[in-house]
Structure 1
Amino acid sequence: MAHFPVNHPARPLYRVFAGLVGLYIFVFGVWGVFQTWGQPLFDRGPNWALGLRTNLAFSLVSVVFGVVLMIGASRRGNLGHYMNLTAGVVFMVTSIAMMSVLQTTANFLNFSMSTVIVSMLFGLLLLATGLYDKVGTDEHAEEERRRRQHPISEAGAR
């Protein structure tokens, strides 16, 4: 069973990273909405925003996701922990799914390979921030540290 570090000392830094990812996604979405406004929702035209290809549907989803990630990064409890883990998985699955249909008509979000790579990087970053931003009481954190450093767990790792 996986054990997430509780009250990790670098947690504020990880929250900043998640917030910056959310801010980039939000700005990308707003810029993309302005670029693609008036076009069909799932248009596959040559529209680019902040270096990534987009359409109106992808831009609108990005605005919502950016806001959600910024809200999660601003919360002090475990909400951000669960939001970042979930968003990381969503980004990874979406990037792999869109990469598999990149050159077909099923590319309804108008992804390019650069969009796939950025989505995968954001997914990995959000997964990493989700792994290290769990919050708990001092007693819970100490118990987690003891469990990770117990002699039996060290013997099993060899």
Structure 2
Amino acid sequence: MPHFPVNHPARPFYRVLSGLIGLYILVFGVYGTFLTWGDGLFARDGDWVLGLRTNLAFSLVSVVFGAFLLIGATRRTNLGHYMNLTAGGVFLLTAILMMAVLQTTANFLNFSMSTVIVSMLFGLILLGTGLYDKVGPPEHAEDERRHRNHTISEAGTR
């Protein structure tokens, strides 16, 4: 069973961090959509937005994904926890897949190496925020704290 801290004291900070990532992605997507609107959906032109290369398809996906992350960051339930864990995994997987096809015609989202690096960083940050923003009743948080301290004290006595 994985260990997810419940009601972590730094949870508001992590929610703000995931919200800022979502805001960046949303602004990137909206600006990229306006910039690439006349181009083909999967064009491989040299359009750069906020330091990342893009095309219309990538910009539209970014609008949806940015809104998705902002919704998750504004919820005070475990919805944000699951959304951040999922988004982190999606970002990491997408970065690895797009890095594999970077110099080929299969690079349909027009990624560059800087886009891959930013996607990996965002994925790691979102996974981290997803690990620490789980919400639960005070009893669950106390049980989790007791279990954590009990396990540590047992390991120290061996």
Shorter-chain TM-score category? over 0.9
What is the CA distance between 1:2 and its match in structure 2? 1.4
How far does the alpha carbon of each residue in 1:52-106 deviate from its partner, in whole angstroms, 9 at most, with x for none?
0000000000000000100100000000000000000000000000000000000
User: Where do 4+ consecutive residues of structure 1 move more than 2 Å?
Assistant: 151-154
Matches within 5 A, 1:1-158: 1-151=1-151, 154-155=154-155
Letter in structure 2 aligned against 1:72 = G
Structure 1: state its 5+ residue gaps. none
Deviation per CA, 1:112-150: give whole Å up to 9, x if none: 000000000000010000000000000000111111111
Instruction: Classify 1:109/1:151 alpha carbon distance in 2 versus 1 (closer, same or farther; 3 Å).
Output: closer
Alpha-carbon offset, residue 154 of structure 1: 4.0
TM-score, length-scaled by structure 1 = 0.96
Which AA in structure 1 matches 2:27?
Answer: V
Q: Which runs of 5+ in 2 are unaligned?
A: none
For the aligned residue pairs, the C-alpha RMSD in angstroms reads 1.6
CA contact (8 A) 1:47 1:53 kept: yes
- 1:156 offset after TM fit, Å? 8.4
Pair 1:119–1:157, CA change in 2 (3 A): farther
* TM-score (norm. length: structure 2): 0.96
Task: Measure, in 2, the Cα distance between the counterparts of 1:131 and 1:122.
Answer: 14
Aligned residues: 158
Say if 1:147 and 1:153, in contact at 8 Å, map to a contact too: no
